[in-house]
């Protein structure tokens, strides 16, 4: 799969690359990111390979990430309209100001204006609600977001890191009130973080939201950097502290490495291929602090896994999900179809029904 094998994002006419460039690393303001020059090199590499989807947020490196992207685009005439530029609101960059962040109308409008200024553009292609503001009525948030679309400052909307019930509520209200709906959902998703399969991903598929996984390498744990042999000796690029995996995480990594050996790829390639193959996934976020890291990720995005390999990875990383997710997934089809094959899935008659013929 190449970056220019574009897809339609969710139920929309917005066409994006199957892998989106995440830019939380742009800027050294948090002590571990990329310099402006390195960030521009990363942008150039991604775009020259055919990528068109760039994701940032107002709070990334205190706004510096947006500023770096804005400087890059302003220096290249005609490039802005060829890319899909996404940013997020919610994070407060005005310490002590209760209306500086969150999802109230005053905050949303202000944050949008500030992002437009830093990005040096007059519109945002995809504007994300970054989190759930418990104190702001969702109707107020949705109407303010819709107004931004109507005004032309924003083209499409998305939601990120919301509980499934809140995202479903928001999407339902938007449809019934005629507001611009969300087209995508951004969530953490990887072989080491699969609990979104319980509620969030089924909700997204039902309501027309393209799923965009962030953290597909689980903060580097699936990059190949961490092994049983070097447990506790590796340091996180972000925190500088020593880190190692849990016992169950090493068990997952063992299977990842087995599959990587079978297909002649590396650990990260298998992890990316697995998450990108998941039902509902649209465009997967990849990020890098250094150019060589990005190149390594882009070099392996065409790796594919067999159904048997995916099944092994699924089995070893199978998550414990909140009720009633497992019940609905495992028991309900058997209760409903009692051994019949439906939609390509073979079901079994549950024990209390198996072998019975008497009906009342």
Q: Cβ contacts of residue 130 below 8 Å, gap of 6+?
A: 57, 59, 88, 89, 90, 91, 160, 161
Is 60 among the residues known to form the active site? yes
Spatial separation of the C-alpha atoms in residues 189 and 72, rounded to whole Å: 30
Spatial separation of the C-alpha atoms in residues 7 and 127, rounded to whole Å: 18
First and final C-alpha spacing in the chain: 56
Q: Which of 6, 46, 60, 156 is catalytic?
A: 60
| Dihedral (CA of 35, 36, 39, 41) sign | negative
Task: Report phi then psi at 89, rounded to 5.
Answer: -120, 155
Q: Cβ contacts of residue 354 below 8 Å, gap of 6+?
A: 348
Can you read off the two tokens belonging to residue 344?
A: 């390509």
User: Strand pairing of 124-129 and 154-160?
Assistant: parallel
Q: What is the largest CA-CA distance in the chain?
A: 78
Q: Please list the active-site residues.
A: 60
């Amino acid at each position: 799969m190449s970056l220019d094998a574009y897809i339609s994002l969710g139920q929309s006419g917005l066409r994006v690359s199957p892998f989106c460039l995440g830019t939380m690393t742009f800027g050294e303001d948090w002590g571990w990111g990329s310099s402006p020059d390195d960030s521009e090199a990363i942008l150039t590499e991604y775009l020259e390979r055919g990528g068109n989807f760039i994701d940032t947020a107002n709070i990334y490196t205190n706004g510096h990430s947006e500023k770096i992207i804005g400087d890059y685009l302003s220096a290249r005439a005609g490039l802005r309209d060829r890319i899909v530029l996404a940013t997020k609101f919610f994070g407060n960059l005005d310490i002590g100001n209760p209306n500086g962040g969150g999802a109230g109308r005053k905050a949303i409008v202000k944050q949008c204006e500030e992002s437009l200024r830093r990005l040096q553009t007059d519109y945002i292609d995809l504007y994300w609600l970054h989190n759930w503001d418990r104190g702001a009525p969702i109707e107020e948030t949705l109407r303010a977001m819709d107004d931004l679309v109507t005004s032309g400052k924003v083209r499409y909307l998305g939601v990120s890191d919301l509980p499934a019930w809140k995202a479903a509520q928001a999407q339902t209200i938007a449809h019934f009130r005629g507001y611009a709906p969300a087209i995508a959902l951004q969530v953490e998703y990887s072989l080491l973080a699969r609990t979104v399969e319980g509620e969030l991903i089924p909700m997204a598929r039902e309501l027309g939201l393209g799923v965009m996984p962030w953290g597909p390498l689980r903060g580097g744990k699936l990059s190949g950097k961490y092994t049983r042999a070097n447990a506790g000796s590796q340091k996180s690029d972000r925190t500088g502290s020593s880190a190692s995996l849990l016992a169950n995480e090493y068990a997952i990594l063992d299977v990842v490495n087995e599959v990587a050996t079978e297909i002649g790829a590396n650990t990260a390639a298998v992890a990316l291929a697995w998450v990108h193959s998941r039902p509902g996934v649209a465009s997967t976020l990849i990020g890098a602090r250094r150019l060589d890291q990005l190149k390594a990720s882009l070099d392996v995005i065409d790796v594919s896994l067999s159904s048997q390999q995916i099944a092994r990875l699924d089995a070893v990383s199978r998550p414990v999900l909140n009720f009633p997710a497992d019940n609905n997934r495992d028991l309900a089809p058997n209760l409903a179809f009692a051994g019949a094959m439906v939609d390509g899935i073979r079901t079994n008659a549950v024990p209390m029904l198996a072998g019975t013929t008497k009906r009342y």
